[in-house]
Amino acid sequence: MNAILTPAPTSLPSNHALMTRRHASIARGIGNAHAVFAAHADNALLWDVEGRRYIDFCAGIAVVNTGHRHPRVMRSLLEQAEHFTHTCFQVVAYESYVALAERLCELAPGEGPKKAFFMSTGAEAVENAVKIARRATGREAVIAFEGGFHGRTLLTMALTGKVEPYKSGFGPLQADVFHVPYPSEVHGITAADSLTAIDRLFKYHVDAARVAALIVEPVQGEGGYLPAPGGFLVALRTLCDRHGILMIADEIQTGIGRTGRMFAVEHSGVVPDLITLAKGLGGGTPISAVLGRAEVIDAVPPGGLGSTYAGAPLACAAALGVLEAIESEGLLERSRVIGERLRARMRGMAMAYPCIADVRGLGAMTAVEFCHTGDIDRPAPEIASALKTEAARRGLLLLTCGSYGNVVRVMVPLTIPDDQLEEGLDIFEDALAAVAQG
């Protein structure tokens, strides 16, 4: 099935021409998954500058969970733009910031008083969560997981559990950050192995009494879309309580309905001390959040948190529109339905294509891992990369991830119509057949 063409506006340059300009003027360190430039997008569809139509199984890396240009989100943006676009909340406050904080605190798991504040990026949210944990506990060290991704800034780069391309050549890294294996039974790492590694960490590397926080993704994102196994987050919560360590749930990719709950950690019944959000929260506008126990967040005095653009008026308005759309359109249940359909089709493909070693996910957060002859110890990043390229040629946008780049992840907008979901899966299967034969 080939990409559907619509007439390209004559005023727009070609993808090739734009990519040539891009390489001449933009830093080499900024990568591109596809050599495509967007002209416009609507819900789960995107058209490039040459008029080619694509089904978007990326959603801007799980950002437009409510689809491109959702009517409620667009209406909120336009209404806010009619009044003002910036004051800096720390200079002149505005109600939408307050309303968004109130709503997130209502939605967050757990009893007791909660508070929230906003930044612009996921990395900023993570850095501020660590700042809060250090201030609240009077401790310095942080535990993170191998394969985890928390950002590319100097602190979050240290927390991220992968060297290439995120850490190589950028040292020295932040001290007092320690990594342990993230459980993945398909890769031979059990939850017990991970918990034992933390015990060994306390015995040989860092005193538990010096650890301020443990940060964990309920489903690892860049690490390969690995859901935490049953009971693991509960065990981490118990361990943190035993040692006076704050638990930070990094929900930047998993939050805002991506896994079928507003927060992925809700699947476990665990209540973290702090939650970080970004991506899907803004519906395409840059906003991130830290929310959690009021007594923990309020350990930081006035002036210790904030940023000029943090919680920008347009982004707060958009985020309120996102939350309204999720509730009014039943998108949490829709996320679960989409995930079941994705994994059912992909498990069917696994029966026909031995290169598929594993199909996994939680809610609409779904991944397919490719290995030579299905041997999990022989990752096949070239298959995943070829599938991404061939699918794009046929009109479907995909992304890869995983420690070896051998996982294709699917992050469809939760608003995708059934016919487009099935069309995308058909393209996925046709592209896989072409790659397997080639």
**Pairing mode, if any, of strands 246-250 and 211-216?**
parallel
Residue 47 parent element (H or E): strand 45-48
Mean pLDDT (whole number) for 183-206 = 97
The token duo for 225 is: 């879309």
| Domain CATH for 402 | 3.90.1150.10
- pLDDT tens per residue across span 276-301: 999 999 999 999 999 999 999 999 99
Structural domain boundaries enclosing 249: 73-328
Which two structure tokens, joined as six digits, stand for 226? 């690995």
**pLDDT tens-digit profile of 340-385?**
999 999 999 999 999 999 999 999 999 999 999 999 999 999 999 9
Residue 423 lies in a domain: yes
- φ and ψ at residue 277, rounded to 5 degrees: -130, 155
Query: Would you say 358 and 396 are in contact if contact means Cβ atoms under 8 Å apart?
Result: no
Question: Which residue is it, tokens 């506990």?
Answer: 137
Residue with tokens 């638990």: 247
Q: Are 294 and 400 found together in one domain? A: no
The count of domains in the chain is 2
Q: Which of 282, 312, 328 is the last residue of a domain?
A: 328
For residue 227, the SS3 value is strand
* DSSP codes of every residue in 263-324: SGGGGGT---SEEEE-GGGGTTS--EEEEEEHHHHTTSPTTSS--TTTT-HHHHHHHHHHHH
Please check whether residues 58 and 150 belong to one and the same domain: no
314 and 220 within one domain = yes
Encoding tokens for residue 401?
A: 């991830």
- Is residue 207 domain-shared with residue 131, that is, in the same domain? yes
For residue 8, pLDDT beyond 60: no
Tell whether 273 and 395 lie within a shared domain. Answer: no
Whole-number pLDDT of residue 31: 92
56 and 146 in a single domain? The answer is no
CATH of the domain at 292: 3.40.640.10
Residue 62 host element (H or E): helix 59-62
State pLDDT tens for residues 306-332.
Answer: 999 999 999 999 999 999 999 999 999
- What pLDDT is stored for residue 106 in this prediction? 98
Last residue of a domain, one of 277, 309, 328: 328
Q: What is the pLDDT of residue 3?
A: 53
Tally DSSP H helices, then E strands, for the chain: 13, 17
pLDDT at residue 1, rounded to an integer? 40
Domain shared by 276 and 301, yes or no: yes
Indicate if the pLDDT at residue 400 is higher than 70. yes
Domain boundary among 267, 301, 328: 328
146 and 193 co-located in one domain: yes
Cα–Cα nearest to 276, from 247, 245, 249: 249
Residue 403 clears pLDDT 90, i.e. is over it = yes
pLDDT at 438: 73
Note the pLDDT tens digit of each residue in 44-62: 999 999 999 999 999 999 9
* Burial class for 313, CB neighbours closer than 10 Å (0-12, 13-18, 19+): buried
Would 98 be classed as within a structural domain? yes
Mean pLDDT of 172-196: 96
Other beta carbons less than 10 A from residue 304's beta carbon: 11
Whether residues 103 and 251 share a domain: the answer is: yes
In terms of domains, do 237 and 353 share one?
Answer: no
C-alpha span between 279 and 353 (Å, rounded): 33
Q: Based on the fold, state whether residues 302 and 346 are members of the same structural domain.
A: no
In a domain? residue 339: yes
Residue 153 domain-assigned? yes
Q: Token pair of 180, please? A: 């342990």
Q: Is the pLDDT reported for residue 2 higher than 50?
A: no
Q: Which of 95, 1, 3 is nearest to 395 (CA)?
A: 3
pLDDT at residue 12 greater than cutoff 90: no
Helix, strand, coil percent values for the chain (each to nearest 5): 40, 20, 40
Going 233 to 238 to 241 to 245, the CA torsion angle's sign is negative
